[in-house]
Amino acid sequence: MTRIGLEVHIQLRTQTKLFCGCPNRFVKDPNTLVCPQCIGLPGSKPRVNRSALQYAWLIGLALNCKIPSMSFFSRKSYFYPDMGKNFQITQYEAPVAHTGRLKLGLKEITIKRIQVEEDPARIVHVGGTIATADYVQVDYNRSGVPLCEIVTDPDFESPREARDFLQKLSSILEYLNVYDPSVEGSMRVDANISLGPTRVEIKNITGFKDVEKALNYEIIRQKHALRRNQKIVRETRGWDADAGVTRSQRTKEDEEDYGYITDSDLTIFTITEEKIKELKNHLPELPDAKVKRYVKELKIKEDLAVSIVSEPDLAEAFEKVIKYVNKELAAKWFAGEIKKTLNYHNLRLRDSKLKTDGIIKLLDMIEKRTITDHTAEMMLREMTIKSLDPEARSDVTTRIYDEHTIENSIKEVIDTNTKAVLDYKSGKNESFNFLVGQVMKKTQGRGDPETIRRLMKKLI
């Protein structure tokens, strides 16, 4: 039986780093956003970014966790080039939240713990991959960036479930406004997987698709090893996205190997019941609640609602648009063509040129049958990448109803596609759809489909 657990590291979008005042942002120039604390110079003292703790508490509440009144930081000792102090300030004995759950389809995923910790530095492998690089450079800009680690129980039975969980988790975190998915490395995943008694960890996977690919590869690798009566070694492996394989990095440490000790430079942090209630009151309407409201109050199909609420900006724009246009039409376009077009251009709604006013005008023209769906799709593609008023294009996009114009186009299509006409007459209905499509091309997508079909049947 396949068992998968995830350790998800979220980069929190605070203004400054976790234990110092250095800016928390990504820059290309290495080692420019650093201080003695980032680099780990002797005598440097940490001070806690309270916003990072508050974000972690919000995440815990959103994931139905228990919030203990007390938490504190520990030192996790290890000796890698990405950690200048030779220890990482993290949480072990007393995390900020624990024992939560997140519904995924018909099952619930248990959230074992949520803890706050500092990010190590960034290792740059020069001249190749981790296995083939000529040498290694260390960029300390990322050192000290606040991370929230979300650890699940091994509740996943397939790589696809793990991917679905990460997509849903990412959506919730966006609604909380605690992380930005467009930032490089904003979500990194360690996946633990076992097909038997021995667990293997795959480190530092970025991207939902890569998590699924890495887990699928590891399942195949372990199955082949078991068929050959080879022992599965408890180890840490890295995911090589270019080669599509996992590679052994080191034997897996146990928690006691890290020699956790309480960080004496940092105090114990407490949260009161009043503060927890205050944070609960500031929780936004989360995706699952939005879906229920859309289905119940707006009478929108659940699959469309799920698609729309996957991104906060998309849901916000949708709710503005339905004040002016038919909500069923809007739901169909937001969940379908709008998301498809944004994905094609690899854009988020907020990063595109697509504005709610333009969407309202476009959907209004569709509803009034001024333009065809095909024309609207073409216009949407333009509106996504450059500022465009759809009404300003009405002279070249207006739907054609004139029967004389359409009839001339139909006659041309019939004359040049005699085989398709004969096929239709012999009972092949798909040939009729082909002929209608050819007329739509003749009219540059502007011909009214109903008029075309009616006249086509009459002329054939």
Confidence at residue 413, expressed as pLDDT on a 0 to 100 scale:
82
DSSP 201-246: EEEEE-SHHHHHHHHHHHHHHHHHHHHTTPPPP-EEEEEETTTTEE
Q: Is the pLDDT of residue 397 over 60?
A: no
- Strand ranges for 32-179 from DSSP E: 70-71, 74-77, 87-90, 97-104, 107-118, 122-126, 135-139, 146-152
Confidence at residue 459, expressed as pLDDT on a 0 to 100 scale:
73
Q: Is the pLDDT of residue 208 over 70?
A: yes
Domain identity same for 125 and 34: yes
Residue partners of 177: CB distance under 8 A and separation at least 6? 13, 284
Residue 190 in tokens: 């360690």
Residue 3 in tokens: 């068992």
Residue 393 in tokens: 């294009």
Residue appearing with tokens 């479930």: 161
Cα(241)–Cα(256) distance, rounded to whole angstroms? 31
Domain identity same for 24 and 103: yes
Of 397, 417, 448, the residue that ends a domain is 397
Residue of 118, 191, 184, 180 whose CA lies nearest to 148: 118
Residue partners of 73: CB distance under 8 A and separation at least 6? 48, 89, 90, 91, 116, 262, 263, 266
- Classified as helix, coil or strand, 71 is strand
Cα(18)–Cα(92) distance, rounded to whole angstroms? 17
One-letter identity of residue 385: I
- According to DSSP, the β-strands at 107-118 and 122-126 are unpaired
Domain identity same for 250 and 391: no
One-letter identity of residue 142: R
Cα(121)–Cα(84) distance, rounded to whole angstroms? 8
Domain identity same for 297 and 422: no
Question: How many CB atoms are located within 10 Å of the residue 451 CB?
Answer: 19
pLDDT in tens, 172-182: 999 999 999 98
- 400 pLDDT band, cuts 50/70/90, is low
Confidence at residue 394, expressed as pLDDT on a 0 to 100 scale:
54
Range from 43-52, 90-99, 369-378 carrying the lowest mean pLDDT: 369-378
Cα(298)–Cα(264) distance, rounded to whole angstroms? 55
Domain identity same for 33 and 177: yes
Domain identity same for 214 and 148: yes
Residue 292 in tokens: 């229920």
Domain identity same for 329 and 412: no
Of 278, 305, 327, the residue that ends a domain is 278
Cα(286)–Cα(291) distance, rounded to whole angstroms? 9
Residue 32 in tokens: 């420019």
Q: Is the pLDDT of residue 445 over 80?
A: no
Residue of 69, 119, 114 whose CA lies nearest to 89: 119
Confidence at residue 223, expressed as pLDDT on a 0 to 100 scale:
95
Q: DSSP code of 283?
A: P
Residue 135 in tokens: 């040498």
DSSP 161-191: HHHHHHHHHHHHHHHHT---TTSTTSEEEEE
What's the domain count of the chain? 3
Domain identity same for 161 and 291: no
Cβ proximity of 385 and 352 under 8 Å: yes
Domain identity same for 440 and 337: no
Confidence at residue 434, expressed as pLDDT on a 0 to 100 scale:
87
**pLDDT (mean) for 74-101:** 92
User: b or e along 173-211 (b: 16 or more beta carbons within 10 Å of the residue's beta carbon)?
Assistant: bbbbebbeeeeeebbbbbbbbbbeeebbbbbebbbbebb
Residues making up the chain, counted from first to last: 460
pLDDT in tens, 254-279: 666 778 899 999 999 999 999 999 99
Domain identity same for 27 and 59: yes
Residue partners of 455: CB distance under 8 A and separation at least 6? 403, 406, 407, 410
Question: How many CB atoms are located within 10 Å of the residue 283 CB?
Answer: 13
Cα(5)–Cα(153) distance, rounded to whole angstroms? 5
- Classified as helix, coil or strand, 41 is coil
Q: What angle do CA 66, 71, 75 make, to 5 degrees?
A: 130
What are the angstrom distances between the C-alpha of 91 and each of 75, 266, 275?
8, 12, 21
Residue 335 in tokens: 């969940």
pTM for the predicted model, two decimal places = 0.84
Domain identity same for 92 and 198: yes
Could you tell me the sign of the dihedral formed by the alpha carbons of 372, 373, 378, 382, in that order?
positive
**pLDDT (mean) for 428-448:** 79
Confidence at residue 256, expressed as pLDDT on a 0 to 100 scale:
66
Q: Is the pLDDT of residue 89 over 80?
A: yes
Selected residue with higher pLDDT from 353 and 399:
353
Of 247, 278, 309, the residue that ends a domain is 278
Confidence at residue 403, expressed as pLDDT on a 0 to 100 scale:
67
Q: Is the pLDDT of residue 84 over 90?
A: no
Q: Is the pLDDT of residue 321 over 90?
A: yes
Selected residue with higher pLDDT from 123 and 294:
294
Residue appearing with tokens 């002329």: 459
| Boundaries of domain holding 450 | 403-459
Domain identity same for 108 and 221: yes
Q: Is the pLDDT of residue 290 over 90?
A: yes
Cα(420)–Cα(448) distance, rounded to whole angstroms? 21
Cα(75)–Cα(87) distance, rounded to whole angstroms? 6
